[in-house]
Structure 1
Amino acid sequence: MTLALALVAGVLLGTSWLTPAAASDRIAASPRIPAPSGLTSTDVSFQGFGGLTLHGTVLSPARSRGRVPGVVLVTGSGAGVPREHLLTEATQFARRGLAVLIYDKRSEGYTDLRRSFSELADDALGAVGALRARPGVDPAKVGLWGLSEGGWVAPLAASRSADVAFVIVVGGNAMSPIRQQVWNETSGLRRAGVSGSLLDHAKRNFARLGADAGLFAEAFFDAEGVLERVRQPLLGIWGEHDLQTPPADNPPRFARALRRGGNTHYTFRFFPNADHGAHVTPDGGLTRGEALAPGYADLVGSWVRDVTSGRLPDADAAAPPAQDHRSTEISPSPWWASGWSQLAAFALFVVAFTAYPLTALVRRVRGRTVRPVTRWARLLAGAGLMAVLGGFVYIFYLMAAGRWPDPGPVLAGRPLPWLVVQGLAVAAVAATVATVAAWWRTRRGTGEAVPAGERVRTGLLLTGGVVFVPWAVYWGLLVP
Structure 2
Amino acid sequence: MSRRTRGPRARRRRRVLVWGAVVVLLVGAGLGGVAVWQNTYALREERVTVRHDGRLLDGVLARPANGAGPFGLVVFVHGDGPVDATHETFYRPVWEAFAKAGYASLSLSKPGVGASEGNWLDQSMDDRADETLAAIAWARTRPGIDGRRIGLWGASQAGWVLPKVAARDRAVRFVIAVSPAVDWQQQGRYNLLAELRKNGASQDETQTALRRRETTLDLLRQGATFEHYRNAVGRNDGMTAERWRFIARNYRSNAAEDLRAMRGTPTLLVLAGHDINVDVADTESAYRRVLPPDSLTVRHYPDATHSLVGNAVENSEPRLTLTAVFAPRRLYATGFLTEQHRFVRQFTDRQGTD
TM over 0.5, yes or no? Answer: yes
Deviation at 1:161, TM superposition (A): 0.8
Structure 1 position 247 matched with structure 2 position 280: yes
Cα offset for 1:243? 1.3
Q: Tell me: CA distance 1:19–1:238, structure 2 relative to 1, closer, same or farther (3 Å).
A: farther
Q: Residue 82 of structure 1: which of 81, 84, 94 is its match?
A: 84
Give the C-alpha shift of residue 46 in structure 1: 1.3
Q: 2:196 aligns with which of 168, 189, 199?
A: 189
Deviations 1:207-232 (A, max 9, x none): 42243244433112121011110131
Cα pair distance change 1:65/1:40, threshold 3 Å: closer
Please give the alpha-carbon distance, in whole angstroms, between the structure 2 residues aligned to 1:211 and 1:63. 51
More strand by share: 2
Q: Which of 69, 72, 90 is the equivalent residue of 2:72?
A: 69
Matches within 5 A, 1:33-432: 36-48=40-52, 50-64=53-67, 66-79=69-82, 81-85=83-87, 86-107=91-112, 108-111=118-121, 114-174=122-182, 176-191=183-198, 192-195=200-203, 198=207, 201-214=210-223, 215=244, 216-217=247-248, 218-231=250-263, 232-259=265-292, 264-282=294-312, 290=324, 291-307=331-347
1:303 Cα deviation (Å)? 1.0
Distance in 1 between the 2:77 and 2:276 partners?
20
Larger radius of gyration: 1
Taking only aligned residues, the RMSD between alpha carbons, in angstroms, comes to 3.0
Partner of 1:268, secondary structure, is strand
SS at match of 2:48: strand
Structure 1 counterpart of 2:252, one-letter code:
F
SS across alignment from 1:250: helix
TM-aligned CA deviation for residue 127 of structure 1: 1.7
Where does residue 36 of structure 2 map in the other structure?
none
Deviation at 1:201, TM superposition (A): 4.8
Measured in 2, the distance between the counterparts of 1:16 and 1:193 equals 16
Identity of aligned residues (%): 28
Deviation of the 1:51 alpha carbon: 2.8
Q: CA–CA distance in 1 between the matches of 2:66 and 2:44? A: 9
The one-letter code matched in structure 2 to 1:16 is R
Unaligned runs of 5+ in 1: 1-12, 25-34, 311-480
Unaligned 5+ runs, structure 2? 14-38, 113-117, 224-243, 325-330
What is the TM-score with the length of structure 2 in the denominator?
0.70
Between the aligned partners of 1:200 and 1:156, the Cα distance in structure 2 is 32
TM-score, structure 1 normalization = 0.53
Distance of aligned partners of 1:44 and 1:201 in 2 relative to their CA distance in 1, 3 Å threshold: closer
| Paired AA for residue 38 in structure 1 | A
Shift in Å, 1:248? 1.6
In structure 2, relative to structure 1, the CA distance for the partners of 1:88 and 1:203 (3 Å cut) is farther
Q: 1:136 to 1:222 in 2, by over 3 A?
A: same
Distance 1:84 1:279 in 2: 16
Q: Any idea what SS the aligned residue of 2:194 has? A: helix
Query: How many equivalent pairs are there?
Result: 280
Partners of 1:198 and 1:284 in 2: CA distance: 29
Please give the per-residue CA displacement for 1:402-437, whole angstroms capped at 9, x wherever unaligned: xxxxxxxxxxxxxxxxxxxxxxxxxxxxxxxxxxxx
Q: Report the CA distance shift for 1:274/1:18 in structure 2 as closer, same or farther (over 3 A).
A: farther
- Secondary structure at 1:42 match in 2: strand
Q: Structure 2 vs 1, CA of residues 285 and 234 (structure 1 numbering), >3 Å: closer, same or farther?
A: farther
| 2:262 partner amino acid | V
Q: Which has the higher contact order (CA 8 A, sep 6+)?
A: 2
Question: Aligned equivalents of 2:195 and 2:279: distance in 1?
Answer: 13
Tell me by how many angstroms 1:143 deviates.
0.7
How many Å separate the matches in 1 of 2:259 and 2:6?
Answer: 20
SS of aligned partner of 1:100: strand
Structure 2 CA distance for aligned equivalents of residues 268 and 309 of structure 1 = 23
